[in-house]
Amino acid sequence: MCKTNTRLTKQRKLILEELERVKDHPTAYEVYERVRGRLPQISLGTVYRNLDILSANGIIKRLDIGQGQRRFDITTDDHKHIRCIFCNRIDDIPLNTYHQLTTIIGIVGDVTGYRGIGCSMDFHGICPECQKQGNRIHSSPEQKPDSGYMNNAKNKEE
């Protein structure tokens, strides 16, 4: 399924099946709850690990939208997302990219029925500094960025 030496375990298969069955964008915990209905002893760590592996292999998509819980999405066709600022639900938007940005918000409102729409458009890529360093990946990108938080920061001083 993924790269060689990636085994198709019963757990992994069920996680994929539940992701395919579901229409919305479940959190890791929601996937866990669904799979647990069919395989009670599955652990949350297993779900997290598999969701990471599946998204690293491009089979599913990891959504890091807003704060709080990460969500996962099995559809592979190109689309964007809209989130309700009250209930935090996430819907799909099949977006034609041949429009001007200024008209897109109007289209999104028509298609989704959302109101009071704002847009946070964020880009990601490899910065000039990292290009200089020969693009060496120290840890898995998108997975373990340098956080510089608390203990880490304190340890720098030693």
Partner DNA sequence: CTCTAATTAGTAATAGTTCCTATTAATGAT
Partner DNA sequence: ATCATTAATAGGAACTATTACTAATTAGAG
Report the interface residues with its own copies, using CB under 8 A. 27, 29-30, 33, 64-70, 80-89, 91, 93, 95, 97-102, 104-105, 108-109, 112-131, 135, 137-138, 141-142, 145-150, 153
Q: Which does 61 bind (CB under 5 to 8 A by kind): its own copies, DNA, none?
A: none
Buried residues in 112-124 as b, exposed as e (16+ CB within 10 A): eebeeeeeeeeee
Cα 94 to its chain centre, rounded Å, is: 17
What residue ranges bind DNA (CB under 7 A)?
Answer: 5-12, 27-29, 39, 41-46, 48-50, 52-53, 67-70, 143-144, 147, 149-152
Cα 124 to its chain centre, rounded Å, is: 14
Q: How many CB atoms lie within 10 A of CB 94?
A: 9
Least Å distance between CB 16 and its own copies? 22
